Amino acid sequence: MNLIEDLRWRGLVAQSTDEAALLESLKKPITLYIGFDPTAPSLHVGNLVVLLVLRRFQLAGHNPIALVGGATGLVGDPSGRNDERTLNSSEVVEEWVSRIRKQVSAFLDFDAKTNPALVVNNLDWTSPLSAIEFLRDIGKHFSVNQMLAKDSVSSRLEAGGISYTEFSYQVLQAYDYLELFRRNNCTLQLGGSDQWGNIVAGLDLIRRVEQGSAHALTVPLLAKADGTKFGKTAGGSVWLDPEMTSPYAFFQFWLNTEDKDVINFLKVFSFLSHEDIEALDIAHTANPGLREAHRALARELTTLVHGADTTSRVEAAARALFGQGELSELDEKTLAGALAELPRTVISKDAQIPTWVDLLASTGVVDSKSAARRIVKEGGAYLNNVKISGEDFAPQKSDFLCGKYAILRKGKRDLACVELV
């Protein structure tokens, strides 16, 4: 199975230019790129879809370029938006460019002997251009009629309008492709399916300016089986930065994938073989309650993004929270990440610690103190996985893990956190 067939099997092909010509070109190593704009201080799991496609191309022997948009990030991509993006300062964009360059670098091999990866910033070739040069040398090759017909522009016009700044984004992206074609002989641009119009504009520009030929390949925008947006939780986006989404929360995000989505996500995000994924599919269909496919997905992605050691720690934390491991063995950072999403109550280190009943009621896990007392009577009350039996039981300072956290458990699954501050 060739690379394109593998991508299609994984559901990663939406549109392409002349596929026969693309397949022919891929018989030899080519240079290709994907662009990432610094619209936040971190990439999120949605960005992984195309970033991992770039990695697949490198593993197949091709030369990957990850472009971080220091220039386009200052302008704003209108794709997928109904209103104008708030423009960030050049200082903020510069900082985010630096952070995202570091992130994308973790997924590519820069030491490969024959096809090392490259990270570039489009501000390097855009900032030296004057406005007059850009309009005369690049802008003259664009038809306003064609630009207005692009989906990202036409939808915004229907929604109420678009600024000249965001209208010009497609010209800047096309210019990126031209420059990489000139500098690196880059002949393939990858992107999400919402980028098709911008990528094709780059192909036209290469043809007009350099009389050259290049290719485009887009990846479907990922959605969940129920039609809702992928990569969002109640707390917002799931980020790759461990300071923005803890590795524990990251692991749990994948572990909590809906049954209908888990095999598809294994195809899209994991580097497991077809045989391994098909075996997990069979096991999942036979007994979905075992959640083998979910655990494989969570381990694969957490290891890919945060490393094997971190994955081991967060799995240990997940087991320990529910009484299947030692809470005392968890380091403070892993423990804090594991507790971050739990209902909690905060008390002062100088205050007298209330009873377990009072603490559980204050977290909101139960509606009242009487409900908390009933849990104690029924034998379902735990502090740090140790059953308590008295309604007047109050934790001691020595019960707090890492000197800061105590874990309340109601029954088998309902957890809450008490934090000393």
329, 316 Cβ separation under 8 angstroms: yes
Residue 227 has a pLDDT of 80
SS3 state at 3: helix
Q: 75-116: per-residue pLDDT in tens? A: 988 877 778 888 899 999 999 999 999 999 999 999 999 999
Structural domains for the chain: 3-219 (3.40.50.620), 223-340 (1.10.240.10), 342-421 (3.10.290.10)
Residue 126 has a pLDDT of 95
147, 145, 153, 154: which is closest to 174 by C-alpha?
Answer: 147
For the chain, report the end-to-end CA distance as a whole number of angstroms: 57
Q: 127-154: per-residue pLDDT in tens? A: 999 999 999 999 999 989 888 888 878 8
395, 385, 391, 381: which is closest to 345 by C-alpha?
Answer: 395
Residue 234 has a pLDDT of 64
| Average pLDDT in the chain | 92
H-helix or E-strand spanning residue 303: helix 292-306
In the sheet that 63-68 helps form, which strands lie side by side, from edge to edge? 15-16, 215-219, 186-192, 31-36, 63-68, 118-121
> How far apart are alpha carbons 164 and 152 in whole angstroms?
13
- Comparing 170-184, 186-200, 340-354, the range with the smallest average pLDDT is 340-354
201, 196, 194: which is closest to 46 by C-alpha?
Answer: 194
pLDDT at 1 over 90: no
- For the record, the structure tokens of 94 come out as 């510069």
CA distances from 218 to 56, 161, 260, 371 (A): 14, 27, 24, 55
pLDDT at 225 over 90: no
pLDDT at 386 over 80: yes
Please name the residue that has the structure tokens 């005392």. Answer: 328
Q: 387-417: per-residue pLDDT in tens? A: 988 889 999 999 999 999 999 999 888 899 9
| Burial group, residue 47, by CB count within 10 angstroms (0-12, 13-18, 19+) | buried
Largest separation between any pair of C-alpha atoms in the chain: 83
Beta-bridge partner residues of 218: 15, 191
Give the mean pLDDT of 44-56. 96
Q: 226-279: per-residue pLDDT in tens? A: 888 787 776 688 999 999 999 999 999 999 999 999 999 999 999 999 999 999
Task: Tell how strand 381-383 and strand 386-387 pair up.
Answer: antiparallel
354, 248 Cβ separation under 8 angstroms: no
Give the mean pLDDT of 282-303. 95
